[in-house]
Amino acid sequence: MVNFELSEEYQDLSDSVREFADEVVAPVSAKHDEEHSFPYDVIKQMGEMGLFGLPFPEELGGMGGDFFALSLALEQLGRVDQSVAITLEAGVSLGAMPIYRFGTQAQKEEWLPKLATGQALAGFGLTEPEAGSDAGGTKTNAHLEDGQWVINGNKEFITNSGTDITRLVTVTAVTGQHERKDGSIKKEISTILVPTDTPGFKAEKAYNKVGWNASDTHPLTLADVRVPEANLLGQQGRGYANFLSILDEGRIAIAALATGAAQGCVDLSVKYAKERSAFGQNIGKYQAIQFKIARMQARAHSARLAYYDAAARMLAGKPFKTEAAIAKMIAGEAAMDNARDATQVFGGYGFINEFTVARHYRDSKILEVGEGTTEVQLMLIARDLGL
């Protein structure tokens, strides 16, 4: 019979990150959100805890854990501050993981010790002004010239791309094209490592976002950026396929973050319902509030089971693409629905930004968009059904 109880090691990790989230992250969340400031001190402490190195081997600066360990940490951080959680998620699953999965030994030894200890951050330069869900529409291009890749193009919505500790962005670029049998043209998309101090690389002005205000997000410009030929990540022409596999893993991580957000809304609503009085008694005594919070808990529970299942399949070496899509969709919707309901439970206070539920209400919408929209997840699920 399947047992979903965490092992002692996993539970200890979850508990320690929960304590850190409550005691270190939560007290400064409202301040960073209001100021749109990156929480460098919090990120530094997360690096010292080893959170950025959870799924990487010790010989590369990591903690020797796995992707499920990372997911548990993201869930606990997501309860109190999605900006902090997405900084970790993007830094590991989008920034460092491509190097770990597809990099040469030299690339791993150069970059992973810095990224796995939180001393440096990396971004994943995939999305473009006209290439979001249709990433095959990439227009950024790169060609070899005198042993160097010369890259030109623009990227959009790139997380962790402009902080003081950002050192690297992995960029997808068209490096050639081939004619198919039917006469159509297929782009050859590759991924290339671009250090952020490379001339011609520029992180433009940060976005003024609806939510995730303490997360770093910029458009990027690459104008005649030149990097060594050895900065190619993985095989030439395999960039598109490689990033798809990275996104499959990342959807489990995003689902964990979203589950944390959904659970955070439950926890806050339960506490508030026991304290807030209306018409002579605590509002938690009213069935309308009880049923609303009960549905919220059901959503969080379902989301957790979904990402646990996807992670278990991944770690067992079994196919998990569809399960990751299901988890991402369910958890993202749970976070958004729970944030809306929590705001209703809190009434007027739910509309005040200093309250965590208000930030969840603004933050959670992107969980139905980023790293694959809900519609993309439905497409993947339907495709697996043979439709």
Residues acting as catalytic residues: 371
Q: Please tell me what DSSP assigns to residue 76.
A: H
Burial of residue 268 (CB within 10 Å: 0-12, 13-18, 19+) is: buried
Of 172, 212, 208, nearest to 77 by C-alpha is 212
Cα 116 to the chain's mean position, in Å? 16
What the block records as the tokens of 60 is 């590369």
Of 77, 83, 94, nearest to 22 by C-alpha is 77
CB 268 within 8 A of CB 22: no
Angle at 44 between CA 43 and CA 49, to 5 degrees: 95
197-to-136, 146, 202, 203, 268 alpha-carbon distances in Å? 27, 20, 9, 10, 43
Q: What is the largest CA-CA distance in the chain?
A: 79
Burial profile 344-371: b = 16 or more Cβ within 10 angstroms, e = fewer: ebbeeebeeeebbbbbbbbbbbbbbebb
Q: 3-state DSSP: the chain helix, strand, coil percent, rounded to 5?
A: 55, 20, 25
CB 85 within 8 A of CB 105: no
Query: Phi then psi for 56, rounded to 5 degrees?
Result: -110, 150
Q: What angle in degrees, to the nearest 10, is found between the helix axes of 287-315 and 321-346?
A: 160
User: How far apart, in whole angstroms, are the C-alpha atoms of residue 39 and residue 315?
Assistant: 32
